[in-house]
Protein backbone atom coordinates (compact mmCIF):
# COMPACT_ATOMS: atom_id res chain seq x y z
CA UNK A 1 0.00 0.00 0.00
CA UNK A 2 1.40 3.40 -1.00
CA UNK A 3 1.90 5.97 1.69
CA UNK A 4 0.68 9.45 0.84
CA UNK A 5 3.05 12.19 1.86
CA UNK A 6 3.34 15.84 1.21
CA UNK A 7 6.24 17.02 -0.86
CA UNK A 8 9.03 19.21 0.46
CA UNK A 9 10.54 22.43 -0.77
CA UNK A 10 14.30 21.95 -0.97
CA UNK A 11 15.56 25.53 -1.05
CA UNK A 12 19.15 26.24 -1.99
CA UNK A 13 20.53 29.75 -1.51
CA UNK A 14 24.04 31.05 -2.05
CA UNK A 15 25.83 34.21 -3.02
CA UNK A 16 26.34 34.74 -6.75
CA UNK A 17 29.31 32.65 -7.84
CA UNK A 18 29.07 30.10 -5.02
CA UNK A 19 27.93 27.43 -7.49
CA UNK A 20 24.16 27.12 -7.07
CA UNK A 21 23.48 26.56 -10.75
CA UNK A 22 26.17 23.86 -11.05
CA UNK A 23 24.90 22.15 -7.89
CA UNK A 24 21.29 22.21 -9.02
CA UNK A 25 22.16 20.99 -12.51
CA UNK A 26 24.13 18.04 -11.09
CA UNK A 27 21.49 17.31 -8.47
CA UNK A 28 18.69 17.20 -11.05
CA UNK A 29 20.75 14.85 -13.24
CA UNK A 30 21.00 12.37 -10.36
CA UNK A 31 17.43 12.93 -9.08
CA UNK A 32 15.25 13.08 -12.21
CA UNK A 33 12.00 12.69 -10.24
CA UNK A 34 12.57 15.91 -8.35
CA UNK A 35 10.69 18.92 -9.69
CA UNK A 36 12.73 22.05 -10.42
CA UNK A 37 11.12 25.42 -9.75
CA UNK A 38 11.69 27.86 -12.60
CA UNK A 39 12.11 31.41 -11.28
CA UNK A 40 10.97 34.46 -13.20
CA UNK A 41 13.33 37.40 -13.59
CA UNK A 42 13.63 40.74 -15.31
CA UNK A 43 17.41 40.53 -15.70
CA UNK A 44 18.81 40.09 -19.21
CA UNK A 45 19.61 36.56 -20.38
CA UNK A 46 23.20 35.45 -20.03
CA UNK A 47 24.98 34.51 -23.27
CA UNK A 48 25.06 30.92 -24.44
CA UNK A 49 21.67 29.76 -23.17
CA UNK A 50 22.93 29.49 -19.57
CA UNK A 51 19.50 30.50 -18.25
CA UNK A 52 17.49 27.92 -20.19
CA UNK A 53 15.55 25.73 -17.80
CA UNK A 54 16.46 27.91 -14.80
CA UNK A 55 14.74 31.23 -15.47
CA UNK A 56 11.82 32.61 -17.40
CA UNK A 57 13.00 36.06 -18.45
CA UNK A 58 10.22 38.62 -18.72
CA UNK A 59 9.99 42.39 -18.93
CA UNK A 60 9.31 44.47 -15.84
CA UNK A 61 5.66 45.18 -16.77
CA UNK A 62 4.84 41.46 -17.05
CA UNK A 63 6.57 40.78 -13.74
CA UNK A 64 4.76 43.64 -11.99
CA UNK A 65 1.43 42.37 -13.36
CA UNK A 66 2.26 39.00 -11.80
CA UNK A 67 2.93 40.67 -8.46
CA UNK A 68 -0.41 42.49 -8.52
CA UNK A 69 -2.27 39.27 -9.40
CA UNK A 70 -0.67 37.20 -6.61
CA UNK A 71 1.18 35.00 -9.10
CA UNK A 72 4.33 34.69 -6.97
CA UNK A 73 4.86 32.79 -3.71
CA UNK A 74 7.74 35.21 -3.09
CA UNK A 75 9.56 37.87 -5.04
CA UNK A 76 12.34 40.35 -4.44
CA UNK A 77 14.62 42.82 -6.13
CA UNK A 78 18.13 41.38 -6.22
CA UNK A 79 21.17 43.02 -7.88
CA UNK A 80 18.82 45.58 -9.44
CA UNK A 81 16.47 43.04 -11.08
CA UNK A 82 13.22 41.40 -10.02
CA UNK A 83 13.16 37.66 -9.24
CA UNK A 84 10.15 35.60 -8.22
CA UNK A 85 8.89 32.08 -7.58
CA UNK A 86 5.55 31.22 -9.22
CA UNK A 87 3.09 29.90 -6.62
CA UNK A 88 1.06 27.38 -8.66
CA UNK A 89 3.91 24.93 -9.46
CA UNK A 90 4.92 24.85 -5.78
CA UNK A 91 1.41 24.12 -4.60
CA UNK A 92 0.91 21.44 -7.28
CA UNK A 93 4.17 19.63 -6.47
CA UNK A 94 3.50 19.69 -2.73
CA UNK A 95 -0.07 18.46 -3.24
CA UNK A 96 1.21 15.62 -5.44
CA UNK A 97 3.77 14.59 -2.80
CA UNK A 98 6.74 15.63 -4.95
CA UNK A 99 9.85 17.36 -3.70
CA UNK A 100 10.67 20.57 -5.50
CA UNK A 101 14.14 22.09 -5.77
CA UNK A 102 14.42 25.87 -5.64
CA UNK A 103 17.35 28.20 -6.35
CA UNK A 104 16.62 31.39 -4.40
CA UNK A 105 18.21 34.43 -2.86
CA UNK A 106 18.46 34.68 0.93
CA UNK A 107 15.32 36.80 1.38
CA UNK A 108 13.18 34.55 -0.81
CA UNK A 109 14.49 31.45 0.95
CA UNK A 110 13.64 32.76 4.39
CA UNK A 111 10.25 34.03 3.24
CA UNK A 112 9.27 30.60 1.87
CA UNK A 113 10.55 28.94 5.05
CA UNK A 114 8.30 31.26 7.02
CA UNK A 115 5.30 30.43 4.80
CA UNK A 116 5.82 26.66 4.42
CA UNK A 117 7.43 25.95 7.83
CA UNK A 118 8.39 22.25 8.10
CA UNK A 119 7.56 21.61 4.45
CA UNK A 120 10.61 23.70 3.54
CA UNK A 121 14.25 22.72 4.04
CA UNK A 122 16.69 25.61 3.60
CA UNK A 123 20.31 25.01 2.63
CA UNK A 124 22.86 27.80 2.39
CA UNK A 125 25.84 27.14 0.12
CA UNK A 126 29.05 28.87 1.14
CA UNK A 127 31.95 29.47 -1.22
CA UNK A 128 35.29 28.10 0.05
CA UNK A 129 36.48 31.70 0.53
CA UNK A 130 35.70 35.24 -0.58
CA UNK A 131 38.80 35.20 -2.81
CA UNK A 132 37.48 32.08 -4.55
CA UNK A 133 34.07 33.71 -4.93
CA UNK A 134 35.71 36.73 -6.59
CA UNK A 135 37.69 34.42 -8.87
CA UNK A 136 34.54 32.53 -9.91
CA UNK A 137 32.62 35.71 -10.66
CA UNK A 138 35.50 37.05 -12.72
CA UNK A 139 35.98 33.76 -14.60
CA UNK A 140 32.26 33.62 -15.38
CA UNK A 141 32.73 36.82 -17.41
CA UNK A 142 29.00 37.51 -17.65
CA UNK A 143 28.96 40.70 -15.58
CA UNK A 144 30.71 44.05 -15.77
CA UNK A 145 33.28 44.91 -13.10
CA UNK A 146 30.68 47.14 -11.42
CA UNK A 147 28.14 44.30 -11.39
CA UNK A 148 30.76 41.93 -9.98
CA UNK A 149 31.55 44.43 -7.21
CA UNK A 150 27.82 44.70 -6.39
CA UNK A 151 27.54 40.91 -6.26
CA UNK A 152 30.52 40.72 -3.87
CA UNK A 153 29.00 43.37 -1.58
CA UNK A 154 25.69 41.52 -1.60
CA UNK A 155 27.49 38.20 -1.01
CA UNK A 156 29.07 39.50 2.18
CA UNK A 157 25.63 40.54 3.49
CA UNK A 158 24.07 37.21 2.42
CA UNK A 159 26.79 35.21 4.18
CA UNK A 160 25.87 37.01 7.41
CA UNK A 161 22.40 35.40 7.12
CA UNK A 162 23.64 31.79 6.85
CA UNK A 163 22.78 30.92 10.47
CA UNK A 164 19.09 31.48 9.70
CA UNK A 165 19.13 28.44 7.39
CA UNK A 166 18.46 24.84 8.41
CA UNK A 167 21.81 23.74 6.95
CA UNK A 168 25.01 25.29 5.67
CA UNK A 169 27.37 23.49 3.27
CA UNK A 170 30.63 24.57 1.64
CA UNK A 171 31.04 24.22 -2.11
CA UNK A 172 34.74 23.49 -2.28
CA UNK A 173 34.21 20.47 -4.55
CA UNK A 174 31.05 19.83 -6.60
CA UNK A 175 30.71 16.08 -6.01
CA UNK A 176 31.20 16.49 -2.26
CA UNK A 177 28.69 19.32 -1.85
CA UNK A 178 26.10 17.41 -3.91
CA UNK A 179 26.65 14.38 -1.65
CA UNK A 180 26.23 16.59 1.44
CA UNK A 181 22.97 18.01 0.06
CA UNK A 182 21.72 14.56 -0.89
CA UNK A 183 22.24 13.40 2.71
CA UNK A 184 20.21 16.38 3.94
CA UNK A 185 17.39 15.73 1.46
CA UNK A 186 17.22 12.02 2.28
CA UNK A 187 16.97 12.82 6.01
CA UNK A 188 13.88 14.88 5.37
Summarised one tens digit per residue, pLDDT across range 106-134 is 989 999 999 999 999 999 999 888 888 77
Average pLDDT, the chain: 87
* Rounded (5°) CA angle 150-71-95: 110
pLDDT for position 5: 60
Please determine, for residue 99, whether its predicted confidence score (pLDDT) is greater than 60.
Answer: yes
Task: State how far the Cα of 56 lies from the Cα of 134, in Å rounded to an integer.
Answer: 27
pLDDT for position 18: 84
pTM (predicted TM-score): 0.85
Residue 10 belongs to what H/E stretch?
A: strand 9-13
pLDDT for position 138: 74
**Phi and psi for 174 in degrees, rounded to 5?**
-55, -50
pLDDT band at 48 (very low <50, low <70, confident <90, very high): low
pLDDT for position 62: 96
pLDDT for position 80: 83
- Looking at the chain, the whole-number percentage of residues with pLDDT higher than 90 is 48
Please determine, for residue 49, whether its predicted confidence score (pLDDT) is greater than 80.
Answer: no
Position with higher pLDDT, 54 vs 56? 56
pLDDT for position 185: 86
pLDDT in tens, 2-34: 444 678 999 999 988 788 888 988 888 888 888
Specify the fold of 9-187. Answer: Rossmann fold (3.40.50)
Pairing of strands 120-126, 9-13: parallel
Amino acid sequence: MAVNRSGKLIIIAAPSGAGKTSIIKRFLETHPNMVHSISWTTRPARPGGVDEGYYKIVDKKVFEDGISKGFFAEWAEVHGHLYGTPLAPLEEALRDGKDILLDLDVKGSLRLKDIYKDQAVTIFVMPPSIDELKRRLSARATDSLAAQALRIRNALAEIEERDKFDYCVINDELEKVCFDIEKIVLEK
